[in-house]
Amino acid sequence: MLVRIKRGWEMPERLATPESVNADRRRLVQAMALAPLLAAAGPLLRPARAAAEEADPSRLLYPVKRNDAFALDRPLTDEQLVTTYNNFYEFGSHKRISQIAQRLPIRPWTVRIDGMVEQEREIGVDDLLKAMSLEERLYRHRCVEAWSMAVPWSGFPLKALVEFAQPSAGAKYLKMTSFQDEDVAPGQKAVWYPWPYVEGLTIEEATNELAFIGTGLYGKPMPKQNGAPLRLVTPWKYGFKSVKSVVAFTFTDEMPKTFWWEIAPDEYGFWANVNPKVDHPRWSQASERPLGSDERVPTLPFNGYEAQVAHLYKGLEASEGDRLYR
Ligand SMILES: Nc1nc2c(c(=O)[nH]1)N[C@H]1C(S)=C(S)[C@@H](COP(=O)(O)O)O[C@H]1N2
Ligand SMILES: [Mo]
C-alpha cells in the first residue's frame, strides 16, 4: 500500500519500489548522521528496552500448545523477516515500522465489547487472556500486495470471544476497531486516512473455526509491530482484514465501513477473500512472493482454506460477484 499526497491506495511492491527507495535513502542519510550518537548511547538504551520487554505480563503464558489440526504445506517464514517487514499504517505507510512501533503502550490495555450484546463491558487484556484457552496454529498469510508468509500464531478462536460477548440475536456483523493515538502513532497525523483502522466480519465468518485472535507469535507474546496485544487473523482473506491492536469489538446489524474500503472501495472491499482468478484492478493476484524468497508461487483459492470456508459464500456469489474477492 502506498500513499501519494491526499490519497492512499495500495500498489504491488514492484511498482511501489521507486518511492520507498527514496524514503529509505532519506532514512539512511539520517541514520548515518545519527550512527555515532547511537553507538555511544547503546549501553544506555539497552536496559530500557529490556525493561519494556519484561513489562509484558503475558510473557509467562508462552509458548502454548500447538493445535496440529492447522498444518502447513510450506516452511515457516523466518521470524526476523516477519517482525521487521510489516504493514501498520498507524506508524507509517512503508514496511520498516518495527522500531517506531515500540512506542505503542500495551499495558494497561482495555478491550471494549459493545453494541448488540447481552451486556456491554470492558475487560483488561490480561483478564481476557485468562478467560480464553490459548493454542498455537500455523497459518498462511496473503497480503493483497502479493507477498505472503507462513507463521505460528498463538491465541484463541474468535468464536470463543463471540460466545464470551453474548451477542443478541439481531447482530449480523462484528466490527473490530484499532487504537487511536496520534501522539504515539505518527501515521495517524495523516488526516486523509479514515482513522481509526476498522475491520469487520459477518457473525458466520467470525465464528468459523479458522477465525483467530492472535496474541503471540513464534511462541512469544505478540510483537508490537505485529499488532500487540491482540489482532485478528483471517488466513483465507487478504491481510488487510487482519486488524492489529484491537481496542473494541462491536456487534451490529450494519455492514461496517472498513478502513481500506473507505479509501478505495473498488479495490479493497468488505469480503476480500483470496482468489487467484480475480485480479486487483491494477495487478494480478494469480501468484505471490513468499517473504525471504525471490520465486513466486501460485496463489490458492481462499489462500488454501477452501474446504473450511467456501460454504460461507455460496449464496452470495450471484449478488456479490467479484466483490467477494477484493
Ligand atoms: N491497525 C492496522 N492493522 C493492520 C494494518 C494496518 O495498517 N493497521 N495492515 C494490514 C495489512 S495490509 C497486513 S498485510 C497485515 C500485516 O501484518 P504483519 O505486519 O503482522 O505481517 O496487517 C493488517 N492489519
Ligand atoms: Mo496487506
pLDDT > 50? residue 14 = no
Domain ranges of the chain: 13-320
Mutate to test the pocket of ligand 1, among 2, 13, 88, 245 (most ligand atoms within 8 A of CB): 88
CA of 81 to the centre of ligand 2 (A): 15
245 exposure class (CB count in 10 Å sphere: 0-12, 13-18, 19+): buried
Q: Which residue is closest in CA terms to ligand 1's atom 12? A: 240
| Nearest listed ligand to the Cα of residue 12 | 2
Q: Would you say 173 and 201 are in contact if contact means Cβ atoms under 8 Å apart?
A: yes
Query: pLDDT tier at 54 (50, 70, 90 boundaries)?
Result: low
Look at residue 7 in the predicted model and tell me its pLDDT. 42
13-320: CATH topology is Sulfite Oxidase; Chain A, domain 2 (3.90.420)
Q: Which residue is closest in CA terms to ligand 1's atom 5? A: 88
Task: Report which ligand 1 atom has the smallest distance to the Cα of 225.
Answer: 19
CA of 315 to the centre of ligand 1 (A): 29
How confident is the model over 230-279, as pLDDT tens digits?
999 999 999 999 999 999 999 999 999 999 999 999 999 999 999 999 99
| Nearest listed ligand to the Cα of residue 92 | 1
Query: pLDDT tier at 33 (50, 70, 90 boundaries)?
Result: low
Mutate to test the pocket of ligand 1, among 147, 184, 244 (most ligand atoms within 8 A of CB): 244
Q: DSSP readout, 195-224?
A: SSPEEEEEHHHHTSTT-EEEEEETTEEPPG
CA of 225 to the centre of ligand 1 (A): 9
Ligand 1 pocket by Cβ (under 6 Å): 86-90, 143, 178, 197, 226-227, 239-240, 242-245
Residue with the bigger pLDDT between 39 and 186: it is: 186
| Nearest listed ligand to the Cα of residue 258 | 1
| Nearest listed ligand to the Cα of residue 181 | 1
| Cis before 63 (ω within 30) | yes
pLDDT > 50? residue 78 = yes
Mutate to test the pocket of ligand 1, among 218, 240, 285, 289 (most ligand atoms within 8 A of CB): 240
In this structure, which amino acid lies at residue 16? A
Q: Of 147, 303, 133, 273, nearest to 212 (Cα)?
A: 133
pLDDT > 70? residue 35 = no
How confident is the model over 299-317, as pLDDT tens digits?
999 999 999 999 999 999 9
CA of 27 to the centre of ligand 1 (A): 22
- Grid cell of 290 as nine digits: 513468499
Residues measured by CB to lie within 5 Å of ligand 2, the ion:
87, 143, 239-240
Cα separation, 273 vs 271, whole angstroms: 6
pLDDT > 60? residue 61 = yes
Task: Summarize the confidence of residues 139-146 as an average pLDDT.
Answer: 98
pLDDT > 60? residue 13 = no
CA of 230 to the centre of ligand 2 (A): 17
- Grid cell of 89 as nine digits: 499504517
In this structure, which amino acid lies at residue 309? V
Place of cell 521507486: 18
Look at residue 65 in the predicted model and tell me its pLDDT. 98
Look at residue 47 in the predicted model and tell me its pLDDT. 52
Look at residue 5 in the predicted model and tell me its pLDDT. 40
Residue ranges of alpha helices (H) inside the chain are 13-54, 79-82, 125-131, 158-165, 203-206, 259-263, 306-309, 317-320
CB proximity list for 155: less than 8 A, separation 6 or greater: 134, 135, 137, 212, 213, 214, 215, 216, 230, 233
Gyration radius from the chain CA atoms:
19
Look at residue 1 in the predicted model and tell me its pLDDT. 61
| Nearest listed ligand to the Cα of residue 218 | 1
CA of 244 to the centre of ligand 1 (A): 6
How confident is the model over 146-177, as pLDDT tens digits?
999 999 999 999 999 999 999 999 999 999 99
- The phi and psi torsions of 117 (rounded to 5 degrees) equal -130, 160
CA of 40 to the centre of ligand 1 (A): 34
Q: pTM (2 decimals)?
A: 0.87
Q: Would you say 236 and 273 are in contact if contact means Cβ atoms under 8 Å apart?
A: yes
Look at residue 55 in the predicted model and tell me its pLDDT. 72
